[in-house]
Amino acid sequence: MAHQNFRHPEILEIARRDGKVTVEDLARRFGVTLQTIRRDLGELADAGRLERVHGGAVVPSGVSNIAYEERRALNAIAKDAMARACAACIPDDASVFLNIGTSTEAVARALLDHRNLLVVTNNLNVAQTLSANPHCETIVTGGRLRAADGGLVGAEAATAIGRYKLDIAIIGCSAIDGDGDMLDFDPDEVAVSRAIIAQARKVFLVADASKFRRLAPARIGNLAGIDRLFTDARLGPSLARLSAREGIDVQVTG
């Protein structure tokens, strides 16, 4: 079972990257039997993560997010590299917003050596991580707790954020489409992310390359409204043009 669970996040990552996975290709990649891969795909389909098709599986329509633990496991090395690059652009003595997401949680880990930070967050995982930094004051918003990922969402969270004006917002999102729109799945989370962007002097987006191949239904805003983008792969032509036109500082790690 441990080997099977280890395969699932990588299978999902390949499916999001390529749009489809085949039984034969996955069996060769993992060095297991076709029957084993069919069982993996069947379990992922039963969980709503993939949709079975002849010879393999495809990514289902983008209406719901994948599970938190799977998101945490996906692209972990890339997220840590982006997080370190982002943290390097945050000076000591700064005030920072951090929103929900496994990428922003990686940034929190990269801030443990910073001094004299003020962090406002609607992410309980971020708050727990930063409690290990004695030189960081952390303020947690109120709001409705999403037990699945430790996020605080809804009107109370947005209202709490509206009381502050901070130096930098560090945000993540679930998807970025070809027009440069940042997207997510929960409208309540989107409302909080919008409030964070509105109350920050500068906005940093941390998004690995898989976010540019996904879709989600709720719009946060456009890349034109951010100052720096930290990602792990070069942007496609249309988004590269948008970034150049809007003066976005794009930092590619890896």
Both tokens of residue 9? 């996040």
2 — pLDDT class (breaks 50, 70, 90): very low
The pLDDT of residue 68: 56
154 vs 42: CA distance, rounded Å: 35
Question: For residue 60, is pLDDT > 80?
Answer: no
The pLDDT of residue 20: 82
Looking at the chain, list the stretches that DSSP marks H as alpha helix, in order from N- to C-terminal side.
Answer: 2-18, 23-30, 34-46, 68-73, 76-88, 102-110, 124-130, 155-161, 187-198, 237-246
Question: For residue 46, is pLDDT > 90?
Answer: no
125 vs 108: CA distance, rounded Å: 9
The pLDDT of residue 148: 83
Helix (H) or strand (E) holding 202: strand 200-206
The pLDDT of residue 58: 81
CATH number at 2-60: 1.10.10.10
Residue (of 5, 11, 13, 10) closest to 23 by Cα position: 11
The pLDDT of residue 48: 75
- How do residues 65-87 score in pLDDT, each as one tens digit? 555 556 555 567 889 999 999 99
**76-252 topology per CATH:** Rossmann fold (3.40.50)
Both tokens of residue 118? 């003020």
- How do residues 107-165 score in pLDDT, each as one tens digit? 999 999 999 999 999 999 999 999 999 999 999 999 999 888 899 999 999 999 999 99
Scan for tokens 């990686």, then name that residue.
Answer: 106
% of the chain exceeding 90 in pLDDT: 70
Delimiting residues of CATH 3.40.50.1360 domain(s) in the chain: 76-252
Question: For residue 1, is pLDDT > 50?
Answer: no
Question: For residue 62, is pLDDT > 60?
Answer: no
The pLDDT of residue 14: 87
Delimiting residues of CATH 1.10.10.10 domain(s) in the chain: 2-60
Provide the mean pLDDT of the chain: 90
